[in-house]
Amino acid sequence: MVETALVDWSRLQFALTAGYHWIFVPLTLGLAVIMAVMETIYVVKGDEFWKRAAKFWMKLFAINFAVGIATGIILEFQFGTNFSNYSWFVGDIFGAPLAIEGIFAFFMEATFFAVMFFGWQKVGKRFHLASTWFVALGAAISAVWILVANSWMQHPVGMEFNPDTVRHEMVDFSALVLNPVAISKFFHSWFSGWMTGAIFVIGVSCWYLLKKREQKFALSSIRIAAIVGIIGTLGVMFTGDSSAVHVSKYQPMKLAAAEGLENGGERAPFSIVPGIEIPGMLSVLATHDIDGYVPGINNILDGYTTPDGQTHLSAEQKMERGKIAIEAFSNYRELKDSNPEEAAIARKTLEENIEYFGYGYINSRNELVPPVPLVYWAFRVMVGLGSALLLLMFIVLWAERKKRLESMTWLQKAAILAIPMVYLAGQAGWIVAEVGRQPWVIEGLLPVKSAVSSVSVGAVQTTFFIFVAIFTLFLAIELRILFKAIKEGPKTEVE
């Protein structure tokens, strides 16, 4: 039996690292698009002002990139050390997109990133512009592979379990890449990056307005950023809608937890906050049908039948099937050399129950429920802040167009305050996605407690606190360099 403390510390360390990594990624994704748009205007209009603007935002992009680079590698260290069972069990599938991302990111960054920063005087305008767009595209493509890997954990497809190698082996690469969860998750994350980049640019520009400096630069940047941000936020909403449909289909417990829905049914209500509900709205969001059936936590645990006749097993039935699968796996390993006939029977039993393999490690039905209050409130923080920030961007764009923004100091202050808020919304989104899928590291196939390595709790605690110290140090360094660059402003010659 694995110690609960070891599972919790391993999980906490991973959450800390992933959360830290996600501070840098969305700004990279979004700011890359904004600076590429600015450089495009420069190339089309030939106005040096836009070149200066693009170069300034590139400088902030580089600072964010330099501090964020390689923070994702720490997650891979943790896979090998703290989650070795997981790494072996699914490494054949999970490793492929990560390897592609690593190689691809390196080459894209080593070439186009260098041209973008070193090439202003050395390559033609159009070639430079293409490089800037390739940096933006490369960041997005990197995200594709990471989210393909993540989505596979949420909705595993395209693989077969091989009991001889104790590995899930990839049988259909296209199923992995075209996983519907991956598609909506990528666009949802990418557009949330646009939103982060936009709010960052608007906030920094409003600081200049508040200080009554760089006004033309600030207003022009706000215009571009607000348009990119509004498009991005609408994209986030649209892809969030398709995400909800996928979650209701493939991870109904996550949806029930995010809604705090104990008992579901047809015309399920959407909870705005506890006590205030919109009747039927959850059914609309989850199934695109007001009469759609949405199971609650108790329905999922007790087992339920949907109106179209599909039966879903209870927690106990799934746990029983899971134990049969693990027993068959164990028997197969014991018998495969000594008694091939019995081993073949065991393998068949395993294949018939493999869908519930992970449930065999679950000891009590309560383990199948994620922390509901955390997921419920994280969802509300994400949606609430996302909506407020969309409204803010509309107001800022309107004020800029009407030439009123310079005098609206309250709006400038609100825009500065929006910078931490957009990060909070992004982190809350990942809490919904990752805490909401607990106890699973791979949905239905492997719970976190069975994925962890047999290492000492003390070792994980030690590295956890080392990470806290390193992350705090690097974040402080980034903020210091970033604030210095912002204070210097766009007049500084950048390269």
Partner 1 sequence: MYFYMCKNIIIEMRNAIIGIWNFYVDGFRNMTWGRTLWWLILLKVILLFLVLRAFFFKPTLADKSEEERIEYVGNQLSNNK
Query: Contact at 8 Å (CB) between 92 and 169?
Result: yes
25 binds partner 1 (CB under 8 A): no
Hey, how many other C-beta atoms are within 10 angstroms of the C-beta on 127? 11
Q: Contacts with partner 1 in 155-194 (CB under 8 A)?
A: 164-166
132 binds partner 1 (CB under 8 A): no
What 3-state class would DSSP assign to 492?
Answer: coil
364 binds partner 1 (CB under 8 A): no
**Closer of 86 and 194 to partner 1 (Cβ):** 86
Spacing of C-alpha 432 from chain mean position? 10
Phi, psi of 74 (to 5 degrees): -60, -35
Among 21, 51, 55, 59, binds partner 1 (CB under 8 A): 59
**Closer of 77 and 107 to partner 1 (Cβ):** 77
| Token representation of residue 354 | 């493999």
Q: Contacts with partner 1 in 271-330 (CB under 8 A)?
A: 323, 326, 329-330
361 binds partner 1 (CB under 8 A): yes
Q: CA dist 351 to 306, 321, 437, Å? A: 26, 11, 24
Q: Contacts with partner 1 in 421-460 (CB under 8 A)?
A: 449-450, 453-455, 459
Distance of closest approach, residue 419 Cβ to partner 1, in angstroms: 21
Among 14, 22, 56, 117, binds partner 1 (CB under 8 A): 117
Distance of closest approach, residue 271 Cβ to partner 1, in angstroms: 35
118 binds partner 1 (CB under 8 A): yes
Name the residue among 188, 147, 90 with its Cα closest to residue 442. 90
SS3 content of the chain, % helix, strand, coil (to 5): 75, 5, 20
494 binds partner 1 (CB under 8 A): yes
Pairing of strands 159-162, 167-170: antiparallel
Q: Angle, to 10 degrees, between the axis of helix 180-210 and the axis of helix 372-401?
A: 50
**Closer of 335 and 416 to partner 1 (Cβ):** 335
Distance of closest approach, residue 297 Cβ to partner 1, in angstroms: 24
Rounded distance, CA 173 to CA 186, Å? 17
Query: Contact at 8 Å (CB) between 282 and 248?
Result: no
Q: Contacts with partner 1 in 464-483 (CB under 8 A)?
A: 466, 470, 474, 477, 481
Task: Indicate the DSSP class of residue 491.
Answer: T
**Closer of 4 and 409 to partner 1 (Cβ):** 4
Instruction: Tell me the residue length of the chain.
Output: 495
365 binds partner 1 (CB under 8 A): no
Name the residue among 223, 247, 273 with its Cα closest to residue 49. 223
Which chain residues interact with partner 1 by CB under 8 A? 1-2, 59, 62-63, 66-67, 69-70, 73-74, 77-78, 80-81, 84-85, 87-89, 114, 117-119, 122, 164-166, 323, 326, 329-330, 333, 360-361, 449-450, 453-455, 459, 462-463, 466, 470, 474, 477, 481, 485, 494-495
